Amino acid sequence: MKILFIGDIFASPGRRIVAEHLQQIISDEHIDLAIANAENSAGGFGVTPNVAQELFSFGLDVLTTGNHVWDKREVYDYLNREPRLLRPGNYAASLPGTGLYMGKARNGVQYAVMNLQGRVHLPPIECPFRKADELLASIPADVKVKFLDFHAEVTSEKIALGWYLDGRITGMVGTHTHIPTGDARVLPKGTAYQTDCGMTGPYDSVIGVEKDTVIQRFLTQLPMRFEAAKNMVELHAVIITLDETTGRATAIQPYAISEE
Amino acid sequence: MKILFIGDIFASPGRRIVAEHLQQIISDEHIDLAIANAENSAGGFGVTPNVAQELFSFGLDVLTTGNHVWDKREVYDYLNREPRLLRPGNYAASLPGTGLYMGKARNGVQYAVMNLQGRVHLPPIECPFRKADELLASIPADVKVKFLDFHAEVTSEKIALGWYLDGRITGMVGTHTHIPTGDARVLPKGTAYQTDCGMTGPYDSVIGVEKDTVIQRFLTQLPMRFEAAKNMVELHAVIITLDETTGRATAIQPYAISEE
Amino acid sequence: MKILFIGDIFASPGRRIVAEHLQQIISDEHIDLAIANAENSAGGFGVTPNVAQELFSFGLDVLTTGNHVWDKREVYDYLNREPRLLRPGNYAASLPGTGLYMGKARNGVQYAVMNLQGRVHLPPIECPFRKADELLASIPADVKVKFLDFHAEVTSEKIALGWYLDGRITGMVGTHTHIPTGDARVLPKGTAYQTDCGMTGPYDSVIGVEKDTVIQRFLTQLPMRFEAAKNMVELHAVIITLDETTGRATAIQPYAISEE
Amino acid sequence: MKILFIGDIFASPGRRIVAEHLQQIISDEHIDLAIANAENSAGGFGVTPNVAQELFSFGLDVLTTGNHVWDKREVYDYLNREPRLLRPGNYAASLPGTGLYMGKARNGVQYAVMNLQGRVHLPPIECPFRKADELLASIPADVKVKFLDFHAEVTSEKIALGWYLDGRITGMVGTHTHIPTGDARVLPKGTAYQTDCGMTGPYDSVIGVEKDTVIQRFLTQLPMRFEAAKNMVELHAVIITLDETTGRATAIQPYAISEE
Ligand SMILES: [Fe+2]
Ligand SMILES: [Fe+2]
Ligand SMILES: [Fe+2]
Ligand SMILES: [Fe+2]
Ligand SMILES: [Fe+2]
Ligand SMILES: [Fe+2]
Ligand SMILES: [Fe+2]
Ligand SMILES: [Fe+2]
């Protein structure tokens, strides 16, 4: 069985490249479950109900997010109505949405998708390590396939959580830095791991944003209004192959499409 | 002409894998200039004169560093005596050492190696963008081959500096996160770029450190004494191919050795 | 009824000025309950069992702490044995010690002392607002006198918690910045409040530390070993007057002793 | 000779209390030079040309600012046209405005007002210690009266700069935390010092902002739109008495007006 995970879809260029290629990837690669991080899918900042529905219509089964999920107020209600759109589960329980979705893949296998967020150089929400324990405890024993999008800034927090969960989930892929890492591997106890999936969007940019503005911000340290960039669009994903009887991963492979 | 850059050499496992493979890589890959980041080469924290000399004895031509260069006091004097050991050039001018070394490669071509450090989630030293301008202005016009190790935490600062320097240097490779990124490319104006080279050291770890201790630190938020890990040793490097008459890069390739 | 709270006692100069004046203050000011923050009482960094016992022997009834409580390993066991030595209650429950002590004051009135820590520019521990709710829920209804030391960096987090608890506790005094604030007031619903109590220790210093070293650190951004300063010793405290039948504060007054 | 410095004027409540009291204070206290921090004077976030002109019309001689000075774009040009409106001098030289103004006080004595910003938990601009040296070197020797508003977050950076400048300037008062500190003193070599002046604005708030919103932000960690609060308006200032023949301070006194 195979899971496809697509990294932070950034603005309309990111949505377009997904629209153009997703069905082909699913078919060519025999994907049973297609997940994507949508925290930047609406203009680069957040996600709206319309944008989420557009992404589901392309064939994505579950959407994860991260710190930017709160950027657009109109999504707050929708988070309560649409269980397939996750927000990091370790934000306060009083907030809309949850960090866990369980469903059935195209091949009929039950799966759980989780979404958590790091706390190093990010808001001090609940402990992602303990929240991972808690989410896992709430998943029925017969659900073997468990995937986590861990949205975090620093490599140490991501790898530490990877080791913490090794053997307990099928795969963990990081998001948020918008640059793919080259460290895909199946950890010794069977959890597929990659520190960051990388952004799906315009790479003629600084992590999606029009690059001259960001350079000016570094030079002046002034607040700036950021605009989404447009060119050098790439799709970055990982494909995890797993044994659905045990939930253990057998392979993890980065998967990228570059338009130029 | 080809430049080899090896990412943060971590403790004795990192030094050993370099010792065992460097001469072979230089010979197989026709390397003309071999550079490595040594900020973690002494027990994981800093570099000593003895350790630097050991690294030079393996065949490394220039050593760069980062925030950990100040960990061992015995290296302060040595930084003034050994121009081939760099520290980030945008620390205060009153500190020992510099961020620029110029020499002649094995093929007789003159080169400049630069070392700068980011300021996002790192100490507020001088502006790396302006310091890059300043260092470049101090390099004679006939020195075409210019390499920069930009030691920084966040992807945005690294890519922004890459774009800022595109066409003005041969290559920029990032260090500090200890995880290789999968984004090696030659930018449109001829600068080879990779966000992070990745650590050369034990990957059965959290960025080099014994992993159970780091997990405990995340769970408790307590100060902890870190020990270097030992297993799953890997060497991570990039090889940049360039035209020495113009200094422009023509290719950049990640290069890795895994002991298992 | 009156509560005396003494701010961060710093190293031996801080302990000495408390030793010399505490009994006099208790007697002159008719203090019924004497509390002090001891996080810097052992050489400026942490607290040891011996130092805590010395402080109790001066006449202090309860000791609170903060982020530095974990500096000395020998205090970890002691935190479990000595309930009058608190650590911020919103560190992980698995750690030694707690953030709540209940006892009887000199006048026979029952009291609760709480200790919490902020998360802005400090480790991302549990939410201090929710932990305050939780601690308050665990205090029997007949305990009316409730004091909180909120150890935090930024003014916004401190004042926000003050407003959050107004009318629910007798008094909240902040610690950690080592500078007394001039904003003592009884909030509208009866909670005495001061953003920071200020350090009890050497003010010929940068927040207790030998000042030339700290200036060098700001100039160089290098790691430095800090030594406790010695001169211009001052004691900073607040005295809260309250109605023990309701637990409401009627007055709050800064109290300082300067040796020169 | 006497200098009045008024802390961060916050929104219209802050401007109003200054309008109502400034002339009286100047006359009662025999003030020769009246300075105020205006970074929050326009709705709590930044300052506009109109608001600055209104503040000058009340009788303020020089306005300092801080990180919020860049909030309103319409002030950028004005910073170049109005030398009496300062911005922290250690932002990039390419930005509008400067951090130094020299003029003649009501009593005919020449003075210099400086404005710098800290870098701990604030943007990594130029070193405030070195920039202070540089500004001081640019002031003619016959200008003896030198005042600095150091806009910074943490107490350590503020006190360290105070000690660094002791005997070299008449007075340094901190701003930015919006809470007055109770540590006014003349340092041993003659520099008047107070860590923070405190906000001039609504104290029924969290540092000027409507308090329920801020409490919600701490509980949820979500981005929030802040509105200026309105009630419990207070004016916080310090008055420095000095010998104009030497520029040394002889006294520093907090000065506050509370409307209720
Ligand atoms: Fe993202
Ligand atoms: Fe993100
Ligand atoms: Fe490193
Ligand atoms: Fe580093
Ligand atoms: Fe302290
Ligand atoms: Fe502290
Ligand atoms: Fe302010
Ligand atoms: Fe400010």
Catalytic-residue membership of A30: no
**B223: nearest CB among C70, C92, C124:** C70
pLDDT at D222 over 80: yes
* Domains recognised in chain A with CATH numbers: 2-258 (3.60.21.10)
Give the nearest chain C residue to B93 (CA atoms): C220
CA of D176 to the centre of ligand 7 (A): 4
Query: Is this model's pTM higher than 0.90 or not?
Result: yes
Q: What is the pLDDT of residues C182-191, one digit of tens each?
A: 999 999 999 9
pLDDT at C259: 84
Q: Which positions of chain B have pLDDT values less than 70?
A: 260
pLDDT at A259: 83
Q: Is C211 part of the contact surface with chain D (CB cutoff 8 Å)?
A: yes
Contact B163 A218 (CB under 8 A): no
pLDDT at C260 over 90: no
Chains that touch D (3 or more CB pairs under 8 A): A, B, C
Distance (Å, whole) CA B69 – CA B67: 6
Q: What is the pLDDT of residues D3-61, one digit of tens each?
A: 999 999 999 999 999 999 999 999 999 999 999 999 999 999 999 999 999 999 999 99
- The share of chain D scoring above pLDDT 70, in percent, equals 100
Number of CB atoms found within 10 A of residue A30's CB: 14
Q: How confident is the model at residue D141 (pLDDT cuts 50, 70, 90)?
A: very high
**D206: nearest CB among C163, C183, C214:** C163
pLDDT at D260: 66
CA of A8 to the centre of ligand 1 (A): 5
- Active-site residue, from A21, A30, A68, A121: A68
Q: Cβ neighbours of residue D69 under 8 Å, at least 6 residues apart?
A: D39, D46, D47, D75, D79, D87, D88, D97
Ligand with minimal distance to A199 CA: 1
Q: Is C226 part of the contact surface with chain D (CB cutoff 8 Å)?
A: no
Using a CB-CB cut-off of 8 Å, the residues of chain C touching A125 are: 124
First vs last Cα of chain A: how many Å apart?
31
pLDDT average, residue stretch A166-192: 98
**B104 DSSP β-pair partners:** B110
State chain A's mean pLDDT as an integer: 98
Q: Cβ neighbours of residue D228 under 8 Å, at least 6 residues apart?
A: D10, D11, D12, D13, D43, D44, D201, D202, D205, D208, D209, D210
State chain C's mean pLDDT as an integer: 98
Using a CB-CB cut-off of 8 Å, the residues of chain D touching C197 are: none
Contact C178 D195 (CB under 8 A): no
Number of CB atoms found within 10 A of residue C255's CB: 18
Q: What is the pLDDT of residues C113-163, one digit of tens each?
A: 999 999 999 999 999 999 999 999 999 999 999 999 999 999 999 999 999
Using a CB-CB cut-off of 8 Å, the residues of chain C touching B125 are: 221
Q: What is the least distance, in Å, from the CA of B195 to any CA of chain A?
A: 8
Among C177, C222, C235, C257, the strongest candidate for a mutation testing the D interface, having the largest count of D CBs within 10 A, is C177
Chains that touch A (3 or more CB pairs under 8 A): B, C, D
Distance (Å, whole) CA B144 – CA C178: 53
Q: What is the pLDDT of residues B202-229, one digit of tens each?
A: 999 999 999 999 999 999 999 999 999 9
Q: What is the pLDDT of residues D84-132, one digit of tens each?
A: 999 999 999 999 999 999 999 999 999 999 999 999 999 999 999 999 9
Q: Which residues surround ligand 3, an ion (CB under 5 A)?
A: B 8, 39-40
First vs last Cα of chain C: how many Å apart?
31
Q: What is the pLDDT of residues C15-54, one digit of tens each?
A: 999 999 999 999 999 999 999 999 999 999 999 999 999 9
Using a CB-CB cut-off of 8 Å, the residues of chain C touching A126 are: 126-127
pLDDT at B259: 83
> Do the beta carbons of residue A6 and residue A248 sit within 8 Å?
no
> Do the beta carbons of residue A11 and residue A47 sit within 8 Å?
no
